[in-house]
Structure 1
Amino acid sequence: MTAITHFNIKGLTEVQVLEARRNHGGNSLDYKKESGFFAALKSIAKEPMVLLLLATSSIYFISGKTGDGIFMASAILLVVAISLYQNSRSRNALEKLKDLTQPVCKVIRSGDIQEVTSEELVLGDSLMIEEGTAIAADGTIVHSNDFSVDESILTGESLSVYKDKDSDKNEVYRGTTVAGGLAIITITAIGNKTRLGEIGKSLEDIQEEKTPLERQINSFVKKMVIAGVLVFSIVWAINYFQSYSFTSSLIEALTLAMSILPEEIPVAFTTFMALGAWRLMKLGIVVKQMKTVETLGSATKICTDKTGTLTENKMTLAKVFTLVDSKITETAAIASDTEKELVRLSMWASEPIPFDPMEIALHQVYKTTNITDERPDFKLVHEYPLDGKPPMMTHIFEDTSGNRIIAAKGAPEAMLEVSDLTEVQQKQIENALESLTGEGFRVLGVGEADFKGKDYPKRQQDFKFSFKGIIAFYDPPKKNITQVLEDFYSAGIQVKIITGDNATTTGAIAKQVGFKGFEKSISGEALMQLSDAEIQKIVTDTNVFTRMFPEAKLKIIEALKTNKEIVAMIGDGVNDGPALKAAHIGVAMGTKGTEIAKQAASLILKEDDLSKLVDAVAMGRRIYANLKKAIQYIISIHIPIILTVFLPLALGWIYPNIFSPIHIIFLELIMGPTCSIIYENEPIEANSMLEKPRAFTSTFFNMKELATSIIQGVVIAVGSLFVYQYAVWQGYNEALTRTMVFTLLIVANIVLTLVNRSFYYSVLTTLKYKNKLVPLIIAITIGITVVLLFVKPVTDFFQFERPDFLQILMSCAAGFLSVIWYEAVKWRKRLRE
């Protein structure tokens, strides 16, 4: 059997593999790329906040305030260190994801089939490539069955090219994909020496398009930068014409510019997306594209194949129906010659090297039911690939004596069309099909033809077939699939089945697993007869789509997208590729999925477990909600800083410049970790998977949420300015006034962090959330504040004054009250719902 399977190809020995790797290297594409560290450093150097810090530090040094200059320079180093750390975490997460998405290849080495990663391939390896796989190296075909390749990545040609070892087109290239059949190739080029490797530099330079959310956030930050420049100019002018001091007025203007810049927002976005992908990876979900993370939580429709997603994809030949005997027999009870002949013909209609679960099952049953194994004696001389709507396939074998076998299998409807049958026979077949499909079996018709001569018909449908019978496979539903469907329904997500199987079989399996809408279905052919407007209506109220082919699947996805749905498409086959690519979220199966499906998808479920997609949707909702909380927090806490710096100056209060750049940057350093670290680590809220997905049209900053953040910020500013005026009324000096206002902002920052952990549940509920970073960050913040207020050298440097107990109490109470009021809003919201 080894000789049959490998066509007497032994491949390289382990010694030869090691020697080839030593002489020619591994199969990886290596280009000179800028170090991630230096690229990150360049990016940070362009950040407006860093440029402002550099300018301020320089002014301090020039004006002789060396201490302040050193502090600002230290702040620059700290900001850069934090940014590099965040960048490093993001980069490391993405590198791990790249490793996981590396394709696995089958090679023949020392006469055995082995699975290795694409990078482990060496020159001279015997590589097996089959339908749905991406070709990992250049090579020459040494054996093939019905083999065709999609070379559009290199040539731009959309049509697949048929190839075999005897034609002048006997070479295959890295990056192309197998459209049909199977081949064994000898690798002739690897890594940068492949044709793709030689043109790969241009592929490396392609920039990834920014996502809608990324564009929204960048647009918001740019607007804030423009506002910062305008306010900077106004404040500088006011200060200058009051003091006529160029440097001091410039420093005060820079103070306000710093307070306006929300530089934490883009950092938070990048961190949340990358770490979200890393968290998904730990759950067994590989994210290939960052944009998937932000889209996951908003999925409204999930389109899934039946085989391998709802079912185990463990095909067993369960029953056979022979037309001659006109009876259905279980596989274990196969005894008659006609039943054995049906299994034999089914095997001959399959690939000589089977890779499809059904064909593997047929080869196994053939071995157990037929005493003599004829496979070594017959050679495949002609084949017709799987085609037609519904599809069928035909193989022609001959032995050395000229004995010929022409066997075909396919959808029963396809086999019925090409067979001459009496009305009685047709009725018998229809009854058998109704019985088998009603039990959820997947059925194939089997036929045989007789043909003399070598001038084979152009189309397999032109043979005159004799219908022999039906073979029925059982693919059991996955054990957890009913719970998975219930989880999707609870989350407000509608599920649709898109399958190549027939309506009765699909309906039976759908009913078994508790699928909503199993009673109503439409076929691919019927769907393609409809107008686009009609399809848009059909996809709204129909949940089962049968006898689907690539064009029909694509039509469904496009229609759902036109209906403003966020679509996730789950698939594992070659014909799922276009739909996976077109969907907002393409999901491929990691174990049984073809390489074409994995390439087209943006998400890969490593263990083929659909429950992981529920986890992915939950994670998507969690990431989106936490990012929103972080950005709302940033907006809220920036407003009081801006107003506390600007209003005393604009209104000519007694202490017009209450804060200097060192105070602002210190507040920034406290706020940065709060939003990026605490909120990223927040658990999912209890009601997240019971809410409907967010609407397609909603923007990240909708007016209601933005208004909430602005009002929160304004109330904190009112508290801050109240304490300012209270201190002035009490006759406190500038240092003590500054201390009280600064303390209030720190307290407000801590309370806001806790209150905004949920915009629905109370702070008493969220305190029970498991997030070890919350007490840690708050303890560090309080510790630093204590040092600032009570360690004299530090207090003097920051131009503070040690407050007494009542002054601290006043600041803390005002800070607490300026935030805690929002709990009443949340209470009313819960009461209404």
Structure 2
Amino acid sequence: MPTSTISFTGLSNEEVNSSREKFGSNAITSAKEHTILHDILGILKEPMILLLLLAATIYFISGKYGDGIFMLVAIVLIAAISLYQDNKSRNALAALKTLTEPDCKVIRNSEIISIKTEELVPGDLMMIEEGSPVPADGIIKQANDFSVNESILTGESMAVNKSENSEEKAVFQATTVVSGLAICEVTATGNNTRLAAIGKSIEAIKEEDTPLQIQIENFVKKMVVIGVVVFLIVWAINYFNSGSMLDSLLKALTLAMSIIPEEIPVTFTTFMALGAWRLMKMGIIVKQTKTVEALGSATVICTDKTGTITENRMELARFYSLPDNTISKYSDGLNDMEKELIRFAMWSSEPIPFDPMELAIHEAYKQTAPTDERPLYKMVHEYPLSGKPPMMTHVFENASGNRIMAAKGAPEAIIAVCTLDDTQKKNILLAVQTMAAEGFRVLGVGTTTMQGDAYPATQQELTFDFKGLVAFYDPPKKNIAAVFQSFYQAGIKVKIITGDNAATTTTIAKQVGFEGADNHCDGETIMQLEGEALNKKVAATSIFTRMFPEAKLKVINALKDSKEIVAMTGDGVNDGPALKAAHIGIAMGKKGSDLAKRASSLILMDDDLSSMVDAVAMGRKIYTNIKKAIQYVISIHIPIVLTVFLPLALGWVYPNIFTPVHVIFMEMIMGPTCSIIYENEPMESNTMQQAPRPFTTTFFKLKELITSIIQGLGITLGTLGVYQLSVYLQYDENTTRTMVFVTLITANIFLTLVNRSFYYSMVTTARYKNNLILVIIAATIALSAVLLFIPVCSRFFQFEPLQLNQFVICIATGFISVTWYEIVKWIKRNKKA
């Protein structure tokens, strides 16, 4: 970055370290810090833990110390697993927070460098510009056409103009720069800022629950209510039969524990946090975990052209000068008129360029100018990019008072402020059309003069002389055609929203195989439409050109009104409102403005739209895996509940086949299964060929819920069938209990394998890469073997050693009670074929 226009030195490294030791980092710390004790207290309030504590208490009161100790061990294990999962989720989110922390520019050791805002210290010279948040409190040292929106502090939405010479020269953390550029000395950081003093920390804002979160919470609440009702019924039945209050309570608790699906909320939180962490590893920063849920539902992606479809590698390619009415190629052999056009194009640009077109202009000026005039001039006034279509004007002056006023912008905007006759206008527009048809980005350049400092309120009030056109070529990205095809195959519509003209955009769109390239509409047309007419026009249009912030926002809202789930990419200040309004605002990590990053919910670190294909795939995979996990939980809870409840309610010979220790053992197996195995499942091969999931649809369709219920009833039929066979063969209670337990564990293992896909067979899913499958299943078998074959454990669980034929019956029954669903999947595949 050029530093010739910077006259400040800034802090040295030693001064930075000294200031940091004295004042700390530039971070607002909360008085309520997170502690392990807070986590433990939260876990102890969970319904399952409360039931376990109650059961342990009853065991100790009844003198069954072994059972009581087992319950306490179970509590410790479940708490440890919960703490591990919470910590893993929190670490993933902390990593995301670190990556989404914005950068800021500072002058240190006479150089402009970029640092994390947390690294700012009092005394630093920070450089803040249009679209950037103010990273710390400070005092303006130098400013050009500088204004700030301070509504976060004052509630006043109007921008406040500030300069080094005015009374209003202080800037405050978290306010936003509306226009211009300023160099400010940092006066306060972290908890010493005005923002911290009045308690406006953004972290205090509570994130709203997503539809899926609400659906899951409602489902769990209903199951808890059902559990309480059934608990009271079973308690009453047991008390009526036995007359023992504590024993009846213990048996009722067994059923209550089997009903409450406490794994589901933990599963949801874990999946979302780890999903965001996985996206981060792919270079996709998700600022809020709820975005992960929305990704799988996206139905429309609205994308910018420059830097998203194209390389954003602007190359100066063509010139048009009015006097000779010719289009010429950019080369070393430029005539004086073309050199003058480059000169005025440079003066109309920012003195410290960052836009690719302005960088190209500055480079061209450096190569073609006889002498570099830039160090001799200082910008004294600026009209930022504005108007429909937009233009910008800069005013420079040297020590002798010689003034240069130059403007550039959309050709239509420059034509509108220049003195031109109809023939000249016609020739200019024909040149614009000719260059745009070749895919060039075209800008008009004009100059003007004025005496005194009474600048008009808007640049459009000035009268300019038309100097010519400069055209840039921004080649399409090599992979963009494949990216579009991936979106189309996934049932996602793509719309281009750009500030460029229709001819240039259409040419580029056709080059990359964009569908509906000839179907375009401009921003002014959009602004004239309302209601149903607007919605129909937006739905039918593929390319939106000459768009400005209000028009972009109107398109996004129209798509939302049509029940589309909208993803919007953007990088500039003018994209902010639309990014904020979209369900998924996508900012570019490299070239995106700070305002765009703040307004977005997701950041592509490599500025590559192909990452969005991966992000959508990840969103769909996570949602599919959550459903698999929840369907598994429902299916396996049903046989546990019915195996506990039916023998008691129907008065069978062994009414209490399972005790709390058996139920809690099975709960400890099920938790890791749904949270660890299914979270690690790869994406199924047909995921990106399916239509997007409606965002408001409940996480289970009736058909899917019925499938889970039938699976659960199938396992129940198997376990109770083994129960009745055991009774028929006159086996004792412990042998019957052991056979039912083995059947249920076997069914659990095969349910895990079958539910890896509700379409593909177990043979196909066996090839999916998920090493945790073997680990978890092996651990389940090993733990079950310990309970069955080690005498001290089998006595504690009231199990009896089984004969080989008894094992065969149990394993075969467990296998058949689940794998019948493979026939259903086979029928599905044949129907589709």
Q: Do they superpose with TM above 0.5? A: yes
Listed as ranges, the matches of 1:746-785 within 5 Å are: 746-785=745-784
Matched, 1:33 2:39: no
Conserved 8 A contact 1:565-1:696: no
C-alpha separation in 2, matches of 1:814 and 1:466: 90
Matched, 1:375 2:388: no
Q: Which runs of 5+ in 2 are unaligned?
A: none
Question: Greater shift after overlay, 102-111 or 218-227?
Answer: 102-111
Question: Greater shift after overlay, 545-554 or 391-400?
Answer: 391-400
Q: Which amino acid aligns with 2:246?
A: T
Q: Which amino acid aligns with 1:294?
A: E
Aligned residue number for residue 195 of structure 1: 194
C-alpha separation in 2, matches of 1:98 and 1:285: 13
C-alpha separation in 2, matches of 1:228 and 1:146: 66
Query: CA separation of 1:602/1:812 partners in 2, compared to 1, >3 Å: closer, same or farther?
Result: same
C-alpha separation in 2, matches of 1:573 and 1:314: 16
Matched, 1:674 2:673: yes
Conserved 8 A contact 2:294-2:695: no
Indicate the SS of the match to 2:148: strand
* Distance apart, 1:299 and its partner CA: 0.5
Deviations 1:481-521 (A, max 9, x none): 11111111111111111111111111111111111111111
Question: Greater shift after overlay, 347-356 or 738-747?
Answer: 347-356
Indicate the SS of the match to 1:5: coil
Conserved 8 A contact 1:324-1:338: no
| RMSD of aligned residue pairs (Cα, Å) | 1.3
C-alpha separation in 2, matches of 1:826 and 1:195: 62
Question: Greater shift after overlay, 396-405 or 78-87?
Answer: 396-405
C-alpha separation in 2, matches of 1:500 and 1:201: 35
Give the percent of matched residue pairs that are identical in Structure 1 and Structure 2.
62
Deviations 1:121-167 (A, max 9, x none): 11111111122222111111112222222222222222322222111
* Distance apart, 1:593 and its partner CA: 0.6
* Distance apart, 1:76 and its partner CA: 0.5
* Distance apart, 1:202 and its partner CA: 5.7
Aligned residue number for residue 220 of structure 2: 221
Q: Which amino acid aligns with 1:332?
A: S
C-alpha separation in 1, matches of 2:12 and 2:540: 58
Indicate the SS of the match to 1:501: coil
* Distance apart, 1:405 and its partner CA: 1.8
* Distance apart, 1:3 and its partner CA: 5.8
Aligned residue number for residue 102 of structure 2: 103
Matched, 1:296 2:295: yes
Aligned residue number for residue 164 of structure 1: 163
C-alpha separation in 1, matches of 2:603 and 2:473: 26
Listed as ranges, the matches of 1:151-550 within 5 Å are: 151-200=150-199, 203-550=202-549
* Distance apart, 1:38 and its partner CA: 2.5
Aligned residue number for residue 47 of structure 1: 46
Aligned residue number for residue 129 of structure 1: 128
Query: CA separation of 1:205/1:131 partners in 2, compared to 1, >3 Å: closer, same or farther?
Result: closer
C-alpha separation in 2, matches of 1:226 and 1:64: 31
Aligned residue number for residue 806 of structure 2: 807
Question: Greater shift after overlay, 180-189 or 29-38?
Answer: 29-38
Listed as ranges, the matches of 1:541-690 within 5 Å are: 541-690=540-689
C-alpha separation in 2, matches of 1:372 and 1:204: 52
Matched, 1:720 2:719: yes
Aligned residue number for residue 5 of structure 1: 5
Deviations 1:395-432 (A, max 9, x none): 22233333322211111101111112122212221221
Question: Greater shift after overlay, 158-167 or 723-732?
Answer: 158-167
Indicate the SS of the match to 2:757: coil
C-alpha separation in 1, matches of 2:502 and 2:295: 30
C-alpha separation in 2, matches of 1:769 and 1:277: 22
C-alpha separation in 2, matches of 1:533 and 1:166: 51
C-alpha separation in 2, matches of 1:363 and 1:742: 78
* Distance apart, 1:380 and its partner CA: 2.4
* Distance apart, 1:60 and its partner CA: 0.2
Question: Greater shift after overlay, 819-828 or 327-336?
Answer: 327-336
Question: Greater shift after overlay, 677-686 or 360-369?
Answer: 360-369
* Distance apart, 1:778 and its partner CA: 0.5
Deviations 1:281-329 (A, max 9, x none): 1111111001001111111100111111111212222211111122122
C-alpha separation in 2, matches of 1:450 and 1:109: 37
C-alpha separation in 2, matches of 1:807 and 1:201: 68
Q: Which amino acid aligns with 1:459?
A: T
How many residues align? The count is 832
Question: Greater shift after overlay, 20-29 or 285-294?
Answer: 20-29
C-alpha separation in 1, matches of 2:111 and 2:29: 30
C-alpha separation in 2, matches of 1:402 and 1:78: 79
C-alpha separation in 2, matches of 1:383 and 1:767: 65
C-alpha separation in 2, matches of 1:506 and 1:606: 25
Q: Normalised by the size of structure 1, how large is the TM-score?
A: 0.98
Query: CA separation of 1:2/1:230 partners in 2, compared to 1, >3 Å: closer, same or farther?
Result: closer
Conserved 8 A contact 1:564-1:696: no
* Distance apart, 1:36 and its partner CA: 4.3
Deviations 1:797-828 (A, max 9, x none): 10011110011110111111000000011011
C-alpha separation in 2, matches of 1:320 and 1:194: 50
Deviations 1:595-619 (A, max 9, x none): 1111111111111111111111111
Indicate the SS of the match to 1:332: coil
Q: Normalised by the size of structure 2, how large is the TM-score?
A: 0.98
Conserved 8 A contact 1:31-1:201: no
* Distance apart, 1:206 and its partner CA: 3.2
Question: Greater shift after overlay, 194-203 or 762-771?
Answer: 194-203
Conserved 8 A contact 1:56-1:254: yes
C-alpha separation in 2, matches of 1:454 and 1:558: 42
Matched, 1:68 2:60: no
Q: Which amino acid aligns with 1:4?
A: S
C-alpha separation in 2, matches of 1:273 and 1:756: 20
Indicate the SS of the match to 1:149: strand
Question: Greater shift after overlay, 513-522 or 447-456?
Answer: 447-456
C-alpha separation in 2, matches of 1:112 and 1:671: 58
Conserved 8 A contact 2:104-2:126: yes
Q: Which amino acid aligns with 1:601?
A: S
* Distance apart, 1:42 and its partner CA: 2.0
Matched, 1:113 2:94: no
C-alpha separation in 2, matches of 1:813 and 1:492: 43
Indicate the SS of the match to 1:4: coil
* Distance apart, 1:376 and its partner CA: 2.5
Q: Which amino acid aligns with 2:4?
A: I
Question: Greater shift after overlay, 12-21 or 237-246?
Answer: 12-21
C-alpha separation in 2, matches of 1:775 and 1:401: 81
Q: Which runs of 5+ in 1 are unaligned?
A: none
Conserved 8 A contact 1:334-1:340: no
Q: Which amino acid aligns with 2:319?
A: V
